[in-house]
Structure formats: C-alpha cells, structure tokens
C-alpha cells in the first residue's frame, strides 16, 4: 500500500504510525518492511498498543496530528465502542484525509481456529462476536455516517 502511495506521490515523505497490540503482528510487519526496498522515504513509528491505549496517549500528551490516510484493517473486532473509536480517528484526519476500514468477519472466525493463532495474543477473543459482527458493524458504520454526514 505504501509503495502505491509513493508511486502516485513520489516527492512526498510519508510518516507511518503503526498501532498494533500484537507483538507477533508487529514483528511480522517490521520484517516485511526490512525486506522491502524503496521505503527510504517513509518514517515508521512503532506503537505496541491497542487503539484505545493510543487514543489515551494522544489525548494525555496532546499529540493531535492530522493524518492524510488512516487504515483500520481487521481491528474493529477488538474495540469496545466502535462509534467512539471512529470519532476519535476521524478527528485525526486532515481536511482531505481518508479512512479505510476493512472487515472480513467470517474469514477472521476461520483464522482464529487455525493452529498458528492458538497461542497468540489473539487467543480468547470472542468468536461469537465474529459470527455476528457483519450486521453489527454495518449498523455501527451507518449510524456513524449519519452523524458525520455524507462523505
């Protein structure tokens, strides 16, 4: 994704602020970055924390930064208050910023039963949530869209 952004805007430096509570996922991402050439225009900031912990840190330290692009990939499953989380992250977007949300509930449920996840930090996450997540997320996102208006 970052390479595609760089291809489109080659003179722009990118600050990539990663918020990931799983040490396994963070390490995997760092390893992919280390193996990928052409990322010298990107500054990586690694935050081993949940989105809630990140929000608390930003508010306590008053580190309100405007981002041009925020992606929430497979993370809303772990959030207690989806509308509040969306409100916080959209408040960090620049005027023309974009928010990308990716959810694959059934795929996530299948992956949770995979042997490599049995001892990961993801163990114990409520799989019942995953099975009913699709309609819940649609309702939460629709309600949020009504609050912020068409975009």
- Total count of domains within the chain: 1
Q: Which domain does 129 fall in, by range?
A: 2-148
68 neighbors 94 (Cβ within 8 angstroms): yes
Q: Tell me the whole-structure pTM to 2 decimals.
A: 0.67
* Helix (H) or strand (E) run with residue 124 in it: none
Q: Which neighbouring-strand residues pair with 79?
A: none
Query: What is the rounded distance in angstroms from the CA atom of residue 53 to the CA atom of residue 59?
Result: 10
Residue-wise pLDDT for 111-136, tens only, equals 444 444 444 444 444 444 444 555 66
Cα torsion 55, 122, 132, 100: sign: positive
The pLDDT confidence band at residue 98, using thresholds 50, 70 and 90, is confident
Residue-wise pLDDT for 8-50, tens only, equals 888 888 888 899 999 999 999 999 999 988 888 888 999 999 9
Stretch among 37-51, 95-109, 135-149 having the lowest mean pLDDT: 135-149
Query: For all residues of the chain together, what is the average pLDDT?
Result: 76
CATH code of residue 111: 3.40.50.150
């Amino acid at each position: 994704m970052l390479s595609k952004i760089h291809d489109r805007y080659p003179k722009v430096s990118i600050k990539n602020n990663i918020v990931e509570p799983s040490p396994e996922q963070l390490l995997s991402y760092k390893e992919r970055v280390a193996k990928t050439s052409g990322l010298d225009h990107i500054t990586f900031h690694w935050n081993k924390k949940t989105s809630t912990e990140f929000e608390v840190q930003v508010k306590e330290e008053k580190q309100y930064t405007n981002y041009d692009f925020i992606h929430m990939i497979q993370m809303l499953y772990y959030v207690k208050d989806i509308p509040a989380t969306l409100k916080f992250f959209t408040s960090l977007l620049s005027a023309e910023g974009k928010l990308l949300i990716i959810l694959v509930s059934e795929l996530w449920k299948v992956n949770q039963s995979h042997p490599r996840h049995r001892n990961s930090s993801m163990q114990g996450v409520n799989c019942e949530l995953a099975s009913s997540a699709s309609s819940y997320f649609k309702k939460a996102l629709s309600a949020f869209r009504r609050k912020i208006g068409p975009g």
